[in-house]
Structure 1
C-alpha cells in the first residue's frame, strides 16, 4: 500500500510540474505568438519543424497536426539536413526550430545554411541569449520551469510546452484560414471521420441491378421469391422508373403472424405505398441516422428526379467504416 501511494504521488507531481509549465507559458503568450501566426498565414511555401532528440519527436507530431489542419508542413531531422536534406528547404519556407537550450550542436550547424537559402527562422527556446535565438527572425522565449523528470534533466515539461504551443499555432492558423470539417475530411479520407464527411449515399448504396425489384402488378409470391433470390431485406415495386411501393422482411413476418394467405395476395395489397426514401447525393451518415432513428435496415435510393437507383442498408453503410454515433 505504501509503494502504491508513493508511485501515485510521484505521478501526480509529474502532472503538477507540467501543468505549472503550461500555465506559465500560457501567461506569456503575446505579440510574438501573434507575429508567428501572421508569418505562417502569409507563408507562400511550407512550414518546416525542426528539433533534435525529444524535441524532434515533437516536431514530427506538430508537422503532422499542422498538415492535417490545412497548412503544408513537414519535419526535418537536423542531422539528416547536414547530409543533403537541406535541399528540401526553399526561400519561401518558414523554419520553426524547437530547442529549449538553443545550443543543440546539430541545430546550430544548420542555421548558417538556412539563412543562406533565405528561409525565415522562428525559434522556440528557453534561452534568450542562445545561438539559436541570435540567428532567428522571430524568437519566443519559454519561461523558466522545472522539468518533471526526477533528475530535472530529461525533456518532459519543455517538450509538453512545445507540443501545446505548436498545437495552439496550428489551431489558430487553421481557424483563420477558415479550414472546415469538409476540408478536414479531404485530408483524412481513410478515417472514420473523413468517411462521414465525404461519403454520399451513392458511394455506399447497393445498385439497382443488384436489388430485389418487381413490377407493380406482381403477386406477393413473386415479391417473396425475388427478395429471397437477392438475399436482401427489401423488395421494391418499380413502375416507370419510380418506386411504386416496398415490402420488407419485417412486413412479411407480420403478414405471416396474421396468417395471411401469401399465395392469394397481390404485391400492391400489402406493400407500403409511401416508403421512406433517401436521395443519392445525401451524406451517407445522414442515411445512417434515418435508418437508426426509424429502426429500419434498408430504404430505397432515388435521384433528384425521383428515379429509382437502388437501396441503402445499415450493413452497406457500416461496412465502409462509417460507424453510428453512440447515443448517450
Structure 2
C-alpha cells in the first residue's frame, strides 16, 4: 500500500505563489507583444464569411477547445477540430475561406504538420499561435501570433503551464476584441446563452411569466368586501385588481387588508372602490421580467398588475412567479 508523502506546507505555498508570479509575468510580457499580427488575425476573422476552426494537440488542444467555445459564444462562428482526427476524415469539416487557428507551443506538432499541405490546398487563412515564431508551423502560416513565454511555471520547466496560460489569454484577447468590433452586446450574448442567468434576465418578458385569463383576480368597483376577499383567496395572488371592464382602477392587497384592520373600520359594509389602492404600479406585458422585478423591489411590493399597450388588464405577476423562473 502506497504511503501518503508528508506535505511540506511552506514549500507548497511557496511553489503555488511562484507559479502565479511566473504566469502573471508571462501575461504581462505577452501584452507587450500584441500588435500588428494580432490586428491581422482579427481582420481575417472579421472578413471571413465562413468559420473559424481551432486546432491543437495535447494541452494546446484543451486550450483550443476553450478558445473555440469562447469565440462561438461571443459572436464569432467557431469550432474545434482535433488534428489527429482531421487526418482521418474530419478535415472535411474545414472548407475554403475558413480561418484556421493552429495552436502549438513548439510549432512542431507532427499531427498539425501532417495536415498543413491539405490546409494550404483548401485556401484557408492559417493563423499560427506558437511559442516559437521560427518554427515549421509559423513558416507555413499566413499570420503568426506569438505566445512565447520565458519559462514554464513547472519547477522542471517541462509541463505546459505558463505557455498554456498565455495561449488561453491570447484567445480571450481575440474574443474580446472581436466582440467589441462586431458591436456584440448583452442581448446578443443572452441569445447564445438562453439557459443561463443572463439569458433569463435579458430574454424573458413579463408576458412569459404572468398569470393570465381566469388566473388573474379581478372585481368590479362595487363588489362587496366579502366578494373581494373571496376573489383574492380563490386566485391565491395575495391581491386583486379592481377594474371597470378591462381598465384598472386600483388594487387591493393583503397589506391593504392589514392596514384597514388596524383602523378598526367596519369592512363588511365597504365596497371594493372604498378599500382599493388607486393608481397602482403597473407593468407592460412586453417589459423584461428583470425590469418588473427591479420595480417591485424598489417599491417594496410583491404583486403587480400587467397591462397591454392600451393599458388594459391582461395579467398579474408576483415575486413567486419570478423566483420560479429564477429571474430573482
Pairwise TM-score range, normalised by the shorter structure: over 0.9
Between the aligned partners of 1:169 and 1:157, the Cα distance in structure 2 is 18
Mind listing any 5+ residue stretches in structure 1 that lack a counterpart?
324-328
Post-superposition CA distance 1:239-259 (Å, at most 9, x none): 121112110011112222333
**Residue aligned with 2:201, SS:** helix
Between the aligned partners of 1:225 and 1:142, the Cα distance in structure 2 is 70
* 1:31 corresponds to 2:30: no
Give the alignment's TM-score, normalised by structure 2: 0.95
* 1:287 corresponds to 2:292: yes
Mind listing any 5+ residue stretches in structure 2 that lack a counterpart?
1-6
Between the aligned partners of 2:178 and 2:157, the Cα distance in structure 1 is 33
**Residue aligned with 1:13, SS:** helix
Between the aligned partners of 2:144 and 2:303, the Cα distance in structure 1 is 59
Deviation, 1:144, is: 4.0
* Count of residue correspondences: 323
Between the aligned partners of 1:33 and 1:129, the Cα distance in structure 2 is 17
Q: Which residue of 2 aligns with 1:229?
A: 234
User: Equivalent of 1:207, from 190, 203, 212?
Assistant: 212
Q: Which residue of 2 aligns with 1:96?
A: 101
Q: Which runs of 4+ in 1 moved over 6 A?
A: none
Between the aligned partners of 1:29 and 1:231, the Cα distance in structure 2 is 60
Between the aligned partners of 1:111 and 1:318, the Cα distance in structure 2 is 53
* 1:302 corresponds to 2:302: no
1:85-124 pair list within 5 angstroms: 85-124=90-129
**Residue aligned with 1:299, SS:** strand
Please tell me whether the aligned partners of residues 208 and 311 of structure 1 are also in contact (alpha carbons under 8 angstroms): no
1:124-135 pair list within 5 angstroms: 124-135=129-140
Give the alignment's TM-score, normalised by structure 1: 0.95
**Residue aligned with 1:228, SS:** helix
* 1:49 corresponds to 2:54: yes
**Residue aligned with 1:112, SS:** helix
Please tell me whether the aligned partners of residues 100 and 125 of structure 1 are also in contact (alpha carbons under 8 angstroms): yes
Between the aligned partners of 2:111 and 2:148, the Cα distance in structure 1 is 24
Between the aligned partners of 1:316 and 1:68, the Cα distance in structure 2 is 29
Please tell me whether the aligned partners of residues 208 and 308 of structure 1 are also in contact (alpha carbons under 8 angstroms): no
Between the aligned partners of 1:150 and 1:104, the Cα distance in structure 2 is 24
Deviation, 1:168, is: 0.5
Between the aligned partners of 1:230 and 1:127, the Cα distance in structure 2 is 70
Q: Which residue of 2 aligns with 1:326?
A: none
